[in-house]
Every structure is written in C-alpha cells, then in structure tokens.
Amino acid sequence: MKTVCRFFPLLVMVLLVTGLLVTACGYHNPNVYSGPAKTIYLTEWKNRTSELGLNSEIYRSLTRWFQKSGAINTVRVKEGADLILAGEIVSLELPSLSYGAKSRTTEVKVRLKVRYILKEIASKKIILETPGELWTEEYLVTTSNTANRDNESKALNTIIEDLSKKIYQRTVSRLSAL
C-alpha cells in the first residue's frame, strides 16, 4: 500500500501533463467545421460551355464534399437556407501542349475557367467571392479515340474534384472565422 501511495502523485502528474499536451497541441483540421449549423442553398451553376452535364458534375461533387461536414447541410431550395453558393462555368478549352512526329498532338491540357460566390442570404454579406479561377489538368493523347475521351474525362473529373475540395475548404475556413 505504501508503494502505491508513493507513486500516486507521480501518476497524477504524468496523466495531467499528458492531458494538457493532448488538449493544448493547437492542431486544427481545416476540413472540419465545428461552428453553428449552417444550411447552404447550392445552386446548379450556369454552364457557358458546350460540355453537357458539366454543371451537374460540379453540383454532385460539391454536394459530396459538403456532406463530409456534420454541421453544414446543402439544399436545393432557397427557403430556410443561411447561405447561397452560386457559380458559373465560364469556359472549357483543350489546347494542345506538345507535338510528336508528323506534328501530331501528344499532350493536351484541359482548361476550365469558373467563378463563384458564397453569400449570407439574410444580410447579403459576401463571405467568399472568386471572380475568375482557372483550373488545368494535362493528359496524354493516344491513337485511340476512346482512350482519348477517357483521358479527357479523367482530367476533367480531377479538376472538378480539386475545385470542389478547394471551395469546401475555403467555405469551412471562412465560416470558422466568422
């Protein structure tokens, strides 16, 4: 019993220091919003390109990202929402980057230009605004048209995923700062 009593203060001290280190480390996950619950009216973006369904792909990707937060909910109707996230697909280009034998294209860069805004509905305060943002992703060109379409699609999907992630992270960061 004497041995336990002698080590008890040391054990308490170790547990206290460990507890302080764990709770005071200052780590903050930028992908987690822990503020008050928010509802975002997520509009389907205007699509000024000839790429059909591109706006729907962006909408679905944004929805998936915002579902990662338990405190942020997205809706398709404005009523009852705290915020509105609207955007526009300005352009989609596929300029050739490099050429091989016989002046054949060997690499193409998908270039997607977008703009978007996040606003508080009640106060009309702009929380996040990006008037023009260019996203690029390269892909290799092969002799197969099917493979080229697949490569272009993968490159565009990478852009959409990266864009959605950035919008989500910036939204969480701005909401946390409010």
Poorest-pLDDT segment among 34-38, 78-82, 157-161: 34-38
CATH code, domain carrying 11: 3.40.50.10610
pLDDT at 69: 86
Tens digit of each residue's pLDDT (9 = 90 or more) over 21-77: 555 555 556 667 778 899 999 999 999 999 999 999 999 999 999 998 889 999 999
Tens digit of each residue's pLDDT (9 = 90 or more) over 6-20: 666 666 677 766 655
Show the domain range for 70.
2-177
b/e per residue 95-130 (b: at least 16 CB within 10 A): eeeeeeeeeeeeebebebbbbbebbebeeeeebbee
pTM higher than the cut 0.85: no
Model confidence band, residue 106 (pLDDT cutoffs 50, 70, 90): confident
Burial of 168 (0-12, 13-18, 19+ CB in 10 A): buried
pLDDT at 35: 80
Burial of 60 (0-12, 13-18, 19+ CB in 10 A): middle
Distance CA 103, CA 117 (A): 42
Tens digit of each residue's pLDDT (9 = 90 or more) over 124-149: 999 999 999 999 998 877 777 787 78
Give me 3's structure tokens: 């041995």
DSSP β-ladder status, 38-42 and 126-140: unpaired
Q: Is the pLDDT of residue 99 over 60?
A: no
Short-list 71, 83, 82, 75, CA closest to 36? 71
Number of domains in the chain: 1
Cα→Cα distances 89→45, 80, 174, Å = 7, 26, 23
